[in-house]
Structure 1
């Protein structure tokens, strides 16, 4: 089933660009377009949609205010000519933030993100998921489970250390991230650390030695990790 989407923009040319791009992607079905946010909000209240392409700077109410006013929130991809709205877009958990003029490759990348996130949210809880979705640096990122070396707590934030590239920082608690990870693959070893079983090379002197070379402490509260790891 294609994702049902609508587009909202007070610029006719911008709406036409989105119509053209959506028509090239079989994964999308454009249900309706609007040139004002109020009409779009009323439509969304009556007709469920999966994805909303939304301009931010509009004359009646802004795209940001529209999202905040919605009781049911579809996935959001902002389309705007103004970079300064990136943080606000992050606050309302937009999937992506496209700067005009938007080219087809960038549009396709944002749509793929929506497809992946939709699959992630739609899967039954018992099914194994392939990755963790987190908001970082004003965008939604998918971090593959196989790429996670370990997860570190920094008070209200977590830092996800990955195989390639810089660590991913996101506003989330350790309790919340544990709920999103498959329990048979990840375990907490300390108030500040979560590790994947697959990345553990050895346990020496109450410390986990990871295949990547790092050593992390195992606290008394999580000593059952040692038994779980030896059984694996």
Structure 2
């Protein structure tokens, strides 16, 4: 999971950066004090997990969350426990009260990893759990999408842009106006098409550069 830390206190940044480097599941993108730079990174889809301080002079953590229009998992950090309720109202993964030990940090990260592995979608009159490890690709058609796994096709009333914002960026990539693919399920790429099992998925011109950049980054 690609991690970003935003905090106006240098000591807090140092501690979180050290904790992140101790967990092999995490990749540290940056530790910054500028929330506006961080917001740009989140909006560009670069971040899987955000550690966000609530009390910052330029832009509070709560206001930061309200401005986000791209979903990523968020763990709030603060020295003020009275802000906990506001944080959970904004659907964050966890809430770390400063100062916190590595073990408490690890538990919060484990929650975020669990969240990354499942998705709930509405199917008829129920919410169905989707194991993201099993998803091969997702196809969009107007206001409906089909989620294809190795065993089934799940149809839900949803648009592709919205579902794209809910998926972990490290594992899924939009490759066409009508398709999202699981990167680790790709069998081959040839002549502008992706092979996943028996399915041939076209790579759209709009998404071509970003897709190949993602592939190169996984190889490096």
Q: Give the structure-2-normalised TM-score.
A: 0.55
Q: 1:45 is matched with which residue?
A: 43
Q: 1:34 aligns with which of 32, 35, 41?
A: 32
Q: How far is 1:47 from its partner?
A: 4.3
Q: How far is 1:90 from its partner?
A: 1.0
SS in 2 for 1:179: strand
Q: 1:72 is matched with which residue?
A: 70
RMSD (CA atoms): 2.3
| 1:80-123 superposed Cα distances (whole Å, 9 cap, x missing partner) | 000011111011100000000010000000000001110113x9
Show structure 1 runs of 5+ residues with no match: 126-174, 183-232
Q: 1:221 is matched with which residue?
A: none
Contact residue 5 and residue 30 of structure 1 kept, 8 A: yes
SS in 2 for 1:16: helix
Q: 1:158 is matched with which residue?
A: none
Q: 2:127 aligns with which of 162, 169, 179?
A: 179
| 1:58-98 superposed Cα distances (whole Å, 9 cap, x missing partner) | 00010111111011021000010000111110111000000
* Structure 1 outlier segments of 4+, above 3 Å: none
Kindly indicate whether residue 83 of structure 2 is the aligned counterpart of residue 85 of structure 1.
Answer: yes
Q: Give the structure-1-normalised TM-score.
A: 0.52
Q: What CA distance in whole angstroms lies between the structure 2 residues aligned with 1:37 and 1:58?
A: 8
Q: Which has the higher contact order (CA 8 A, sep 6+)?
A: 2
Q: How far is 1:36 from its partner?
A: 2.3
1:1-232 correspondence runs (5 A): 3-121=1-119, 178-180=126-128
Show structure 2 runs of 5+ residues with no match: 131-220
Aligned residues: 129
